[in-house]
A and B are shown apart, each in its own frame.
Chain A
Amino acid sequence: MVSASETLPSHAMPPLPAGQRLRAWLYRNEAVRGYLLLSPTLLVMVGLMVLPLLGMLAMSFFTQKYVTIDYSFTLDNYWTIFEPSSTPAYFLGIPFYLHKPIYLLLLFKSILISLASTAAVVLLAYPMAYFLAFRVTKHKMAWLILITVPFWTSYLLRVFAWKIILGYNGVINSGLVSLGIIDKPLEFLLYNPFAVIITLAHAWAAVAILPIYVSLEKIDRSLLEAATDLGDSRLERFLRITLPLSLPGTIAASLLVFIPTVGDYITPTLVGGTSGIMIGNVVQSLFSKGNNAPLAAAVSVVSMMTITIMVCIFLWSVGRSRMTRREI
């Protein structure tokens, strides 16, 4: 395959003045031309993402002194987050020896809530994606649009919808009372981690469908026919062919839901109550009400590191298990 640049008429006829030689070289060199084209986007990404993130990392080593920031390097913020103490704090019966356990405990809780939501999203989405890939033969596009439309409507309002469903005077309570099933509205529906999980599971539903659907759609149907011919039952065929081959999409779906939901702010604020607070709320309140940007930055850095390490371990273990399976 001849690339576009090689078929272009060459202007590099030596000897030419240096300026023209440079232009000719730029004209012919694919990498240079590619990066020239990329440079505006890259500059914006560096300016709006890389620099701010580095700035946040730097900020996490400073200290807040009332209204001003002390720019001398210190690890105090990280000590505040990690400092061990002799009195353990308990979470789900597990002791944590932390001086101020609140940040790490909340990070841990956010990760648990997020993992539970991710599991709910993926378990609910998988059968739907399977249905789309294997059962729907006509109007696949219409089905896909139907599923993704709620995702493009206001996130805030999708979360708010759960507040009016689960609230004290909400849809479930008022419905049950008016049907005479209960006399008094149930108070335990809203403002707890469970409300956060179900709301996240709903709000992120459509994100998981597409990657799973794509990986299911890509499966070579003749493999399934071969398995049937060789005497596999429907279940065996699913477990031995469909499920392993759809794993990449399922992993992508899990990550696409897990990573952003750990830092979610709206859902815990609207439906979480005090017991449903997540790390995003802590970072926000440290930053605004607490007026402690350096500590907020340190908590953000620790959260991002934790998420990154978790994701890496997850991807590495998936990669390993796939390798070992291939060897067998």
Chain B
Amino acid sequence: MMKRNAHTDPMIGYAIFYLVFLYGPVLLLPLFSFNDSIFVAFPLKGFTFQWYVAMATNDALIQALTNSLKVGISASVISTILGILAAKAMTRYRLPGRGPVSGLILLPLVIPSIILGIALLVLALNVFKIEPSLYTIVAGHVLICVPFAMLVMMSRLEGFDRNLEEASADLGENGWQTFWRVTFPLAMPGIVASLLLCFTTSFDEFLLAFFLAGNEATLPLFIFSQLRLPNQLPSVLALGSCILGVSFLVVFLSERTRRVGLQRKPTATAEAAS
């Protein structure tokens, strides 16, 4: 995996330290989720599955999970469609004002979401008199997912040869046919990656949901409400471990898909640094 003289390199020590820092706290969740004690403390008591059983039989949790799935799927589909349109326009046309426009679409990435949440709630409540619901959460999540979707789709659309599209046009296809028969299949891995990325973003998003939720809670809101109740903590740990496992799987799959068919660029050699 490393260079042959890696064992003499102090950098590898740092890399290991960094991974421990990164994963240590996260891996405490599964560790204590199997601990047969209501307290999250050392020393560990016996091994148990009871917190997973308690989690699986919690109706409020199942309801929150269902809500999160609904919101996540809706938000990721809508954002990905908007992202494809924007990315196609950005990468295929010479647009006057391209910079400011892409800046506008990417702006939610750098505005604290508490401000976006309050702004959306103020507008929804005071101007449009819309009551917060799962729909308002979807709207908020679409706002923060569109930048991700556009970035993923732009890198994918720039990654394949646009001569293919021109050839299709030369052969007499109109723009729409070219899109369906050439662009869409080539962009498919990017679309899947965008859907997964937007879904995980929405699934994990707390603050906008916190402001824009009506009576129905999403999973992060449910977890947040449980964190105040000490006797619920082990079940939250069990739930967290499941989310951790699924996230790992999703990230792995999305990375695999995003890379399928992309031309491999020769990576610069690290010889110069040695």
Residues of A in contact with B (beta carbons under 8 Å apart): 3-4, 7-9, 30-31, 33-35, 37-38, 40-42, 44-45, 48-53, 55-56, 59, 69, 124, 127-128, 130-131, 133-141, 145-150, 152-158, 160-165, 167, 169-171, 173-175, 178, 202, 205-206, 217, 221-222, 224-225, 255-256, 259-260, 262-266, 270, 280, 283-284, 287, 293, 296-297, 300, 303-304, 307
Contact = CB atoms under 8 A, between A and B. Distances in A.
Contacts of B236: 157, 160
A160 B227 contact: yes
B12 interface: yes
Contact of B42 (A134, A178, A266): A178
Contacts of B112: 259-260, 262-264, 280, 303-304, 307
Contacts of B150: 41
Interface in B205-244: 206-207, 210, 220, 223-224, 227, 233, 236, 240, 243-244
A237 to B, nearest CB: 9
A293 B211 CA distance: 13
Interface stretch (B49-57, B102-110, B186-194): B102-110
Given A52-B116, A221-B272, A59 B42 contact: no
Nearest to B102: A38
Interface of B: 1-3, 6, 9, 11-12, 14-15, 18-19, 21-23, 25-26, 28-29, 32, 39-43, 81-83, 85-86, 88-90, 92-96, 101, 104-105, 107-116, 118-123, 126-127, 139-140, 142-143, 146, 150, 162, 165-166, 169-170, 172, 200, 204, 206-207, 210, 220, 223-224, 227, 233, 236, 240, 243-244, 247-248, 250-252, 255, 259, 267-273
A264 B210 CA distance: 13
Nearest to B105: A45
Given A135-B270, A161-B29, A162-B25, 4 more contacts: A134-B273, A164-B233, A221-B270, A221-B273
Contacts of A205: 21-22
11 contacts: A48-B140, A152-B247, A153-B244, A156-B223, A156-B227, A161-B29, A174-B41, A260-B110, A263-B113, A266-B206, A280-B112
A146 B266 CA distance: 21
Contacts of A265: 114, 207, 210
A283 B211 CA distance: 12
B272 A147 contact: no
B188 to A, nearest CB: 19
A224 B26 contact: no
Given A40-B82, A127-B11, A134-B270, A169 B120 contact: no
Given A44-B142, A56-B119, A160 B240 contact: yes
A302 B235 CA distance: 40
Given A161-B29, A265-B114, A128 B247 contact: no
A215 B240 CA distance: 34
A152 B240 CA distance: 12
Contact of B114 (A8, A156, A169, A284): A284
B43 to A, nearest CB: 5
Contacts of A178: 42-43
Given A44-B82, A164-B40, A165-B28, A128 B15 contact: yes
Contacts of A147: 19, 22
A284 B11 CA distance: 43
Contacts of A48: 120, 139-140, 142-143
B193 to A, nearest CB: 12
A52 B119 contact: yes
A30 B170 CA distance: 17
A149 B247 contact: yes
Contacts of B15: 128, 131
Given A38-B86, A154-B240, A31 B94 contact: yes
Residue of A41, A133, A155, A202 ringed by the most chain B CB atoms within 10 A: A41
B118 A300 contact: yes
Given A134-B270, A221-B269, A224-B272, A157 B207 contact: no
Contact of B165 (A4, A34, A169): A4
Given A52-B120, A55-B119, A169-B41, A34 B89 contact: yes
